[in-house]
Chain A
Amino acid sequence: MKPSSKKMFRNGQLYAMLLPNLVLFVGLTVYPIVWSLRYMLYDYDGIHAAKFTGMDNFVRLFSRDDVYWDSLLNTLVYACGKLALIIPLAFLLAMILNVPFKGRTAIQVIVFSPTIMSSAVMALMFYLLLNVYNGDLNRFLLYVGIIDQPINWLGPSLAMLSVVLVAVWGGVGNYMVYFLSGLQTIPKDIYESADLEGATYWQRLFKITIPMLGPVLRIVLMLAILAAFQDIQSIMVMTEGGPLGQTQVVFLYLYQLFFPVSASASNHPEIGYGAAASVVTGLILGIITAIYLLVSKKLDNIF
């Protein structure tokens, strides 16, 4: 049976409507992944002809690139530090804001507002604030008398803590909103019957609220882990991975392989090597996500 021309025209319309998004998706997401899978086998600096080197890039990555593994470790430290602060803070905020009172919406709007601002621009402001000699924070602390020496917030020992705190500032509102919407799904009558039974505040928290939030918590934690790996805009502006590579996170290192900055070790792009390191990083992230999903499923069965 031959489709009528009207039918053909109709199907044509469907494909035409799908096409713009499909072209963008294939060109800007699928193609770059395939491209990386190809160039990981080449030595290519973006200028001279690419030279096929097989597994050389991987040998280099696994045998003699300490900077890469250090940056991966830094990323884990950063992600754990960020999560350890941001999740409890966001949860506390959500618990407080879950009870109706005057000014609740205003507080929510304020705490969520950093997520609306450019992290790069605000990182620049934090860079000025945290400056050793004329930064506002040190000046304030000296003035109040909490410290008697200026503190080097972006120096070797505190830089990581500083970038973590800036990340907490920028993201806590996000997770607060996730938790709030999760809390609102818990039926009120469960609490009412618990009250009749004479449950204490803590029993309500650990026996009802947290278990009921399980599914939300699982999704939120996964989003938080992925987001922590991707946070490079503010670190790039505040420290460029310094001092002495203290805040060099893995995505920033990869970025610098493709787009070297004067401060980085090598001054020419290492495209092939960057592609190989990207693919390995993508796989490591995939494995972390898979492990997380498995573990959280198991925990679900226990509780």
Chain B
Amino acid sequence: MKKIAGRTVGIAFIVVMIAFTLYPVAYTVFGSLKSNLELQTGGGFFPTEWKFSNYAEAFQKAEFLKYTGNSVLLSAMTMLLSLVTSSMAGYVVSRHDFAGKKALMAAYLSVMFVALGPIVLYPQYMLMKELGLTGNLFGLALVLTGGQASNIFLIMGFIKSVPKELDESALMDGAGYFRIYRSILLPLIRPILGVIALFSFRLAWNDYITSLVFSIPNPGIKPLTVAVVGLRYSANAAAELHIMTAGAAIAIVPILIVYLFANRQFINGLTAGAVKG
């Protein structure tokens, strides 16, 4: 009897949590297909008339096609930059000794536990301005890539499981370090690279504050998140509710689809990073 009661409470709790989780997402997806009037005056859970034209309007009139393209490009660049820079550096620090290595590792470790957040945004912006890298997507991708201390530790943890004999025998055969990294290690550490690819793509796709600041001098490089939230502050926000909601759906649905196919990696990557970090 007690067991049944406990189970019922458990099931009720899970149902409430699922409803709590899904409701805002459902609101966004179904809301993106409602007419502006229906969004403003309310109505049912589902749209009375499924207005796919909202998307056409968002893509064309509100230039969301351009912003989506910006987001795709920005996320792809951030992902590539993260993969290349962190895997090369991760290989060097895991397998080799060099002057100042201890200090470097200490620095990586200490910034992981300091919440820097928006504090570093202004000096980062000034530095990029000096280098002429503000107002373009490449500069923003560089900033979003950053030092990646946590990714370096992820890779280090993974490389530990690769037998050292593999590199040593290649070294004997006269292979250069870059070749060893390229032909021996990279294929072996593919699983962790997959995690880093997903995490860095998500970071760039979802970023708001850094992108907001870096697109001030050139609104043409705005990614989706900045464009969608920006509608809230536009002069006729009320008239654009349906575009806002459609834009929000465009911003969350693709990444959710990626997640549904790769949810294992997302979840495993999270725990690998927390335990090893």
Which A residues fall within an 8 A CB radius of B?
9-10, 13-18, 20-22, 24-33, 35-36, 89, 92-93, 96, 107-114, 116-122, 124-129, 134, 136, 139, 169, 172-174, 177-178, 181, 201, 219-220, 222-223, 226, 229-230, 232-233, 236-237, 251-252, 254-255, 258-259, 271, 274, 278, 281-282, 285-286, 289
Contact = CB atoms under 8 A, between A and B. Distances in A.
A9 B42 CA distance: 69
Contact of A169 (B20, B124, B176): B20
A86 to B, nearest CB: 12
Interface in B57-104: 84-86, 88-89, 91-93, 96, 98, 104
B18 interface: yes
Q: Which 8 A-B pairs have the closest CB atoms?
A: A25-B147, A120-B208, A21-B89, A32-B120, A118-B206, A32-B123, A35-B123, A17-B88
Contacts of A24: 85, 142, 145-148
B62 to A, nearest CB: 14
A286 B115 CA distance: 9
A65 to B, nearest CB: 16
A25 to B, nearest CB: 3
A225 to B, nearest CB: 9
A111 B21 contact: yes
B1 interface: no
Interface residues of B, number: 87
Contact of B229 (A124, A219, A281, A286): A124
B260 interface: yes
Contact of A278 (B113, B119, B142, B275): B119
Given A29-B146, A237-B208, A281-B119, 14 more contacts: A17-B177, A20-B88, A27-B127, A32-B123, A35-B123, A109-B263, A110-B21, A114-B25, A118-B207, A124-B229, A128-B241, A128-B244, A223-B274, A233-B209
A36 B126 CA distance: 12
A87 to B, nearest CB: 14
Between B96, B152, B206, the greatest number of chain A beta carbons within 10 A of the residue's beta carbon is seen for: B206
B232 A124 contact: yes
Contacts of A125: 24, 27-28, 31, 245, 248
B122 A10 contact: no
A177 B263 CA distance: 12
Contacts of A92: 13
Interface string B251-270: 11001100110010011001
Contact of A251 (B31, B104, B117, B256): B117
A282 B152 contact: no
A182 to B, nearest CB: 9
A107 B22 CA distance: 11
B252 A118 contact: yes
A110 B177 contact: no
21 contacts: A13-B176, A17-B88, A17-B181, A18-B88, A28-B143, A28-B146, A36-B120, A96-B13, A108-B267, A110-B21, A114-B25, A116-B202, A116-B256, A121-B206, A128-B241, A223-B274, A233-B208, A237-B229, A255-B121, A281-B119, A282-B115
B267 A112 contact: yes
B235 interface: no
Contacts of B50: none
B205 interface: yes
Contacts of B243: none
Given A29-B146, A30-B107, A282-B114, A271 B122 contact: yes
A129 B116 contact: no
Nearest to B143: A28
A251 B118 contact: yes
A284 B71 CA distance: 36
Nearest to A118: B206
Given A21-B152, A121-B251, A289-B113, A36 B10 contact: no
